[in-house]
Amino acid sequence: MVQVEHHTRRGRGARPKTSASRSSSVQAGRVPRRTADERFRVAVRGPLLGLATNLVLVVVKVFAGIASGSAALLADAGHSATDLINNLLVLGSLLYARRPADDSHPYGHDRAEVLAAVVSAQLLAAAAFVLGWGSLQKLIAGAPTPGLLALWVAIGTLVVKAVVTRVESAIARDVASRAVQADARDNFADVLSSFAVIVAVAGARLGQPRLDGLGGLLIAGLILWTAIQIARGAGQELLEQNLDADVLERVRTAAAQVPEVREVTAITGRVHGSDVLIELGIAVDQQHTVAEGAAIAAAVRRAVSSALPDVSSVLVELNANHLRRLQRQLQ
């Protein structure tokens, strides 16, 4: 059995770093490679924008909530304060993920962003339960009638957060960052909570104070669903879920086009941070020498890299079914 592995894993700002972290981006094949430093400079813009925005919003919401007598706006100020914590968490994960591979972490430190996404999901879930509990109380007892200032602040917050969500979502897709993606979804949850505040204020001023509780419960459910989706995606990556079937089929097709390859025996792939790693086994004629086998494996690696340019590592094994061997080892 001969193994030939092709790596494009990076040191800090040295080697090219793929920006594909989802099999969909592998399918597209259009995402440009960046160095670790280039990716960091792009990724950090999202949480920095969110941090500056949330600092301003916390101050504005607290003063407006007190001045207008809006309990909903004061509660939303608390939500924005938790967003500040999340922004700092994302920034910390991006800084840590920037560290190059070493002997203790030969695959790099990109999984720090996944851990940040897990914590972001927990913060979102906590915010959903707090908002849901407050909304349930308002549904039962009603809410006081706040001033119009609360309504205008809530509308302004919704617009600002919608813009920040759009910007961060674009950055997350561009650099394939779980942490920035989670931060963008957290901002989207702010859009929903701002909508709940608008409903609360408008409903109270129209003589229907319990609309706030009903709308808040709905928004809390949506925020909780967002948290579950973030946690689910991060969990799949931590558990090293295989790549999509159509991506694996593209790898199989590319490898099978190499003339000396008799059969592609198995293919597996996984996402590691912003890297896509692929391992495949091929069958060749037994009479080939070791040098010839290595040349065939190198040809397969080139074919796969050409078909899927965002793949950062390809491991080729000759005359082996690595998937079956792995399954036997784990039984």
Side chain identity at 329, as an amino acid letter?
Answer: Q
For the ranges 14-18, 70-74, 212-216, 313-317, the lowest mean pLDDT is seen at 14-18
Please say if the pLDDT value at position 310 is more than 90.
no
Chain centroid, CA 189 distance in Å: 15
pLDDT of 289 reads 85
CA-atom Rg of the chain in angstroms:
25
Please say if the pLDDT value at position 232 is more than 80.
yes
Q: Which position has the higher pLDDT, 186 or 29? A: 186
pLDDT class of 326 with cuts at 50, 70, 90: low
Does CATH number 1.20.1510.10 belong to domain 34-238? yes
> Quick check: helix, strand or coil at residue 317?
strand
Side chain identity at 96, as an amino acid letter?
Answer: Y
In this prediction the pTM is 0.62
pLDDT class of 86 with cuts at 50, 70, 90: confident
Please say if the pLDDT value at position 33 is more than 70.
no
The structural domains of the chain, with segments of one domain joined by +, span 3-8+242-330, 34-238
Distances (CA, A) of 1 to 178, 259, 283, 318, 320: 37, 19, 10, 5, 7
Under 8 Å between Cβ of 260 and 284 = yes
> Quick check: helix, strand or coil at residue 13?
coil
pLDDT class of 162 with cuts at 50, 70, 90: very high
> Quick check: helix, strand or coil at residue 316?
strand
pLDDT class of 29 with cuts at 50, 70, 90: very low
Strands 3-7 vs 275-283: parallel, antiparallel or unpaired:
unpaired
For the ranges 106-115, 146-155, 317-326, the lowest mean pLDDT is seen at 317-326
Please say if the pLDDT value at position 10 is more than 60.
no
pLDDT of 22 reads 44
What is the dotted CATH code of the domain comprising 3-8+242-330?
Answer: 3.30.70.1350
Strand partners, 283: 263
Nearest to 43 by CA among 81, 98, 123, 85: 98
Under 8 Å between Cβ of 51 and 88 = yes
Query: Of 6-15, 92-101, 278-287, which one has max mean pLDDT?
Result: 278-287
Nearest to 298 by CA among 255, 329, 267: 255
Burial 136-167 (b: 16+ CB within 10 A, else e): eebbeebbeebeebbbebbeebbebbeebbeb
> Quick check: helix, strand or coil at residue 177?
coil
How far apart (Å, rounded) are the C-alpha atoms in residues 56 and 233? 31
pLDDT class of 136 with cuts at 50, 70, 90: confident
Residue 187 CB coordination number (10 Å)? 27
Q: Check if 3-8+242-330 and 34-238 are the same fold.
A: no
Under 8 Å between Cβ of 316 and 280 = yes
Cα 140–141–147 angle (5° rounding)? 125
Long-range contacts of 97-103 (CB under 8 A, 24+ apart): 97/179, 97/273, 98/12, 98/36, 98/37, 98/40, 99/12, 100/10, 100/11, 100/12, 100/14, 100/36, 101/9, 101/10, 101/11
Under 8 Å between Cβ of 138 and 212 = yes
pLDDT class of 163 with cuts at 50, 70, 90: very high
Region 273-284: mean pLDDT is: 80
Region 301-327: mean pLDDT is: 77
Q: What DSSP character marks residue 105?
A: -
Side chain identity at 121, as an amino acid letter?
Answer: A
Nearest to 254 by CA among 311, 294, 293: 311
* Non-local CB neighbours of 178 within 8 Å, separated by 6+ positions: 21, 113, 114, 116, 117, 233, 234, 237, 273
